[in-house]
């Protein structure tokens, strides 16, 4: 009888321990951490100046605007709403930037009024440069093909924050496509 009770206790305990492990995993997944705190440094209203190059060596187009950034959903995601101009036309863009605690990856989901599609990029925090480096693909409407890009997001410093976007030529060589410099507006 004692063996039966011991066996019964083991069978009951194992699922309870598995449930406890699952609950701990979910709590770790849902709790904002150090990387979310890093994202929160970008909160606030920022003025920006953006230089864009359509092809390597071309003259830059310079635009400007305002970016209203806020942490949403309990500090889990940075929502960035950009309003200004791009290539001399009115521009509105929305970026959701987050960090997945389980995958240990940053991600970006971007939409804007310059198209009807979206871009998704994922990447890592680079401790040496204190930047987030994301890689993604976007659809080139002219060719109908995916186009690879890299985005580097710098930590805010001295009231400024910046990001750069790089494209890749047909040989895979990286070139600067866009540079945005942000100045704290408030």
Residues 61 and 16 in one domain: no
Overall average pLDDT of the 48-65 stretch: 91
Residues 99 and 154 in one domain: yes
Q: Which range is least confidently modeled, 20-29, 40-49, 55-64?
A: 20-29
Residues 88 and 102 in one domain: yes
Q: What is the pLDDT of residue 25?
A: 84
Residues 59 and 85 in one domain: yes
Q: What is the pLDDT of residue 108?
A: 97
Q: What is the pLDDT of residue 8?
A: 46
Overall average pLDDT of the 98-103 stretch: 97
Residues 18 and 65 in one domain: no
The DSSP H or E segment spanning 2 is helix 2-30
Residues 19 and 81 in one domain: no
Residues 21 and 53 in one domain: no
Residues 6+ apart with CB under 8 A from 38: 125, 155
CATH, residue 118? 2.40.128.20
Residues 80 and 94 in one domain: yes
Q: What is the pLDDT of residues 159-173, one digit of tens each?
A: 676 899 999 888 889
Residues 174 and 122 in one domain: yes
Residues 73 and 123 in one domain: yes
Q: What is the pLDDT of residues 127-181, one digit of tens each?
A: 999 999 999 998 888 888 888 999 999 987 766 768 999 998 888 899 999 999 9
- The answer on pLDDT for 80 being more than 90 is yes
Nearest alpha-carbon partner for 60 in 45, 73, 49: 49
Total number of domains constituting the chain:
2
Q: How confident is the model at residue 82 (pLDDT cuts 50, 70, 90)?
A: very high
Domain that holds residue 160: 34-184
Residues 90 and 178 in one domain: yes
Residues 99 and 24 in one domain: no
Overall average pLDDT of the 52-66 stretch: 91
- The answer on pLDDT for 15 being more than 80 is no
Cα dist from 97 to 22, 43, 69, whole Å: 26, 12, 10
Angstrom distance (rounded) from CA 28 to CA 136 = 26
Q: What is the pLDDT of residue 21?
A: 82
């Amino acid at each position: 009888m004692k063996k039966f009770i011991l066996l019964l206790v083991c069978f009951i305990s194992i699922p309870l321990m598995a449930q406890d492990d699952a609950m701990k995993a979910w709590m770790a997944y849902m709790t904002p951490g150090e990387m979310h705190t890093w994202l929160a440094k970008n909160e606030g209203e920022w003025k920006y100046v953006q230089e864009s190059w359509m092809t390597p060596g071309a003259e830059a187009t310079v635009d400007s605007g305002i970016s209203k950034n806020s942490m949403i959903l309990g500090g889990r995601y940075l929502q960035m709403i950009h309003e200004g101009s791009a290539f001399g036309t009115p521009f509105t863009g929305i970026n959701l930037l987050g960090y997945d605690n389980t995958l240990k990856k940053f991600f970006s989901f971007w939409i804007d009024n310059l198209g009807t599609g979206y871009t998704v990029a994922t990447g890592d925090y680079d401790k040496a440069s204190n930047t987030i480096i994301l890689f993604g693909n976007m659809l080139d409407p002219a060719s109908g093909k995916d186009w690879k890009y890299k985005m580097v997001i710098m930590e805010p410093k001295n009231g400024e924050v910046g990001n750069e976007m790089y494209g890749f030529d047909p040989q895979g060589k990286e070139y600067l496509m866009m540079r945005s410099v942000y100045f704290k507006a408030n």
